[in-house]
Amino acid sequence: MKIYVDADACPVKDIISSEGTDAKIPVILVTSFSHFSNAEQPPGVETIYVDSGADAADYRIIKLAKKGDIIVTQDYGLASLGLAKECTVLHHNGFSYTNENIDQLLQTRYLSAMARKSGKRTKGPKPFTLEDQEKFRELFKRVILR
């Protein structure tokens, strides 16, 4: 089992790195070159850099992920592909993507995109809170202990 993180805008990378390495599960942070850093990662954490193009990180994660791996992303499209590969897919706000909720999430994303395209304003994501962070930590711990 490995943990893949869509890392460009992920606010819980530190939690994933800490809990994943404690559980001796390899953590792979996939991010674009535009987020390049010389910061040294702890043992057990690897960073893979991809082009800055749209969905480049998503495509790399799907190429690498295998059945039973964990994927952390806020991207519903990537989540859908991860579920199709029988991965466990988590959102940083502390919920799991499932075959039962992914269609509704994708439909909501589509409707919001159509509204924006027609000139309407839509709400952005709510601010990430400490409560969201703790909710993710608890979910993540339960998932990696399975």
Q: What is the pLDDT of residue 42?
A: 87
Q: Is the confidence at residue 37, as pLDDT, over 90?
A: no
* Contact yes or no for 144/25 (Cβ under 8 A): yes
Q: What is the pLDDT of residue 125?
A: 75
Query: How many domains is the chain partitioned into structurally?
Result: 1
Q: Is the confidence at residue 88, as pLDDT, over 90?
A: yes
Q: What is the pLDDT of residue 79?
A: 96
Helix (H, G, I), strand (E, B) or coil at 7: coil
Provide the token pair at 52. Answer: 């800055």
Q: Which residues of 114-128 are buried (b: 16+ CB within 10 A; e: fewer)?
A: eeeeeeeeeeeeeee
87: nearest Cα among 112, 53, 63, 117: 63
Residue 58's domain is classified under what CATH number? 3.40.50
Give the domain range for residue 40.
3-145
* Antiparallel, parallel or unpaired: β 88-91 and 70-72: parallel
Q: Quick one: pLDDT band at residue 44, thresholds 50, 70, 90?
A: very high
Q: Is the confidence at residue 54, as pLDDT, over 80?
A: no
Cα separation, 48 vs 65, in Å, equals 13
Q: Is the confidence at residue 33, as pLDDT, over 90?
A: no
Q: Quick one: pLDDT band at residue 36, thresholds 50, 70, 90?
A: confident
pLDDT cut 90: percent of the chain above it: 68
Average pLDDT over all residues of the chain: 92
